[in-house]
Amino acid sequence: MNAEILCVGTELLLGDIVNTNAAYLARELAALGIGCYYQSVVGDNAGRLAESLRLALSRADMVITTGGLGPTYDDLTKETVAQHFGLPMELHQPSLDRMKEILERRGRPFTKNNEKQAYFPKGARIFPNDQGTAPGLAIEQDGKIVIMLPGPPNEMTAMFQQQVRPYLESRSDRVLRSHTIHLFNIGESAVEDKLHQSMLDHQNPTIAPYAKLGEVQLRVTAAAANEEEAEAMMKPVIDEICAQFADYVYGVDVKDLQHAVVARLAQLGKTIAVAESCTGGMVASRITDIPGASQVFLCGAVTYSNESKMAMLGVSPRTLEEYGAVSRQCALEMARGIRAASGADIGLSTTGIAGPGGGTPQKPVGLVYVAAVDGAEEKVLELHLSRGYDNQRELIRNWASMYALHLVLELCKKDK
């Protein structure tokens, strides 16, 4: 079975909102083993919507739409699908009762146009909406399926999880499963250069590289009769890649470096504290973005000024004078200082020149030191992160944060 995603809404065409619905549905469909070759966006226009629907149904077994189920005159999805299949619209009394109840609870008046949301093409399977007024629905006809979901992401995702996914799972005869291998500190073309033949050779499972900021991901996907078989097909491929890129792989299915760091520290029962200069709080913010970070993260210091480096971290005035704030020595003293001040198992630091100002010939923009220390070991990296163009401050800060997080994983390698 393959599907297409068709998102309806002029606000998408105008760029007023980002289409997170398409990404969400795409991911869910992939996880269900339903292929998806096209996504489209069309505005609240009857003719173009009908044309897009016709095209999508000519290419796919199933079309999932979002949007256009609301009460206003330009909400046209149900009516357009009904017309496509030649179905009359019928009142669904339970939906009408439910809607009146919801509006009453919210203290909103029931206006005549709300009634529109309780009319459905004859024979539709109705998905009640427990987060809003517009129900979703599915139509099966002529060997095709059209599933219509509301546009607001919270309504759409809740309806998908609770009602649409079970409906779809009951219909499929094979499963598709994927794993994603995360590599850091290697470029996409270098990965592909080494893997080129392997990628061509593997048809099932397939291997696909994705370049993300600062990392490369390799997605291994198998199609099989069941989950166990798919997993068994993927395992040797994943093991081989992990061995081949052992110096770069930091995890499989780990989401990102900060998730990997928090998981690793939690697994080891270790705590961390962070002292940041050039990253300015980004490392701490990334770690604390992970639910449950409070188990492993004690505190952070964003020491932009030299005074704060001395006062909060105990960096020695002499180090600052002799080597400067952007130096291997200062990075180490910062990491040691935050570790000592906080009592954390690991101290992590960053100091560097993010630009655009502040660079010198000896210490150019992009020069960054990151250090990670625990009781047994001290690691420092000297990084040259400039790409030589304007407006790279954010990029340098991002990379520096990623290298810092990665250094924690390196430091923890010795702990089995």
Return the axis-axis angle of helices 188-201 and 227-244, rounded to nearest 10°.
130
Residues 368-407 that bind a copy of itself (CB under 8 A): 384, 386-395, 397
Does 11 interact with a copy of itself (rule: CB under 8 A)? yes
Does 43 interact with a copy of itself (rule: CB under 8 A)? yes
- Closer to a copy of itself at the Cβ: 119 or 140? 119
**What phi, psi does 53 have (nearest 5°)?**
-65, -45
The answer to whether 176 and 205 have CB atoms below 8 angstroms apart is no
CB of 161 to a copy of itself, least distance (A): 10
Applying CB under 8 A, the span of 89-97, 141-149, 232-240, 340-348 interacting with a copy of itself comes to 340-348
CA separation (Å) from 41 to 6, 45, 315?
6, 11, 55
Residue partners of 317: CB distance under 8 A and separation at least 6: 310
The answer to whether 208 and 221 have CB atoms below 8 angstroms apart is yes
Among 127, 245, 250, 297, binds a copy of itself (CB under 8 A): 297
Residue partners of 41: CB distance under 8 A and separation at least 6: 6, 7, 8, 9, 12, 13, 19, 22
β-strand partners of 140: 145
Structure token pair of residue 222: 């198998």
Pattern 137-156, a copy of itself, x by CB under 8 A: ---------------x-x--
Applying CB under 8 A, the span of 64-72, 242-250, 261-269, 370-378 interacting with a copy of itself comes to 64-72
Applying CB under 8 A, the span of 19-27, 232-240, 370-378, 403-411 interacting with a copy of itself comes to 19-27
CB of 151 to a copy of itself, least distance (A): 9
Interface size with a copy of itself, residues (CB under 8 A):
115
Give DSSP secondary structure letters for 152-173.
SHHHHHHHIIIIIHHHHHTT-S
CB of 389 to a copy of itself, least distance (A): 4
Does 240 interact with a copy of itself (rule: CB under 8 A)? no
- Closer to a copy of itself at the Cβ: 123 or 280? 280
Does 248 interact with a copy of itself (rule: CB under 8 A)? no
Chain mean position to CA 45: 31
Does 414 interact with a copy of itself (rule: CB under 8 A)? no
Does 341 interact with a copy of itself (rule: CB under 8 A)? yes
Residue 174 is classified by DSSP as S
Residue 289 is classified by DSSP as T
Alpha-carbon gap, residue 217 to 255, rounded angstroms: 10
Residues 301-330 that bind a copy of itself (CB under 8 A): 301-305, 307-308, 311-312
Residue partners of 143: CB distance under 8 A and separation at least 6: 61
Among 63, 156, 284, 373, binds a copy of itself (CB under 8 A): 284
Residues 73-132 that bind a copy of itself (CB under 8 A): 73-74, 102, 105-109, 111-114, 130-131
Residues 178-237 that bind a copy of itself (CB under 8 A): 178, 187-190, 192-193, 196, 208-211, 213, 217, 219
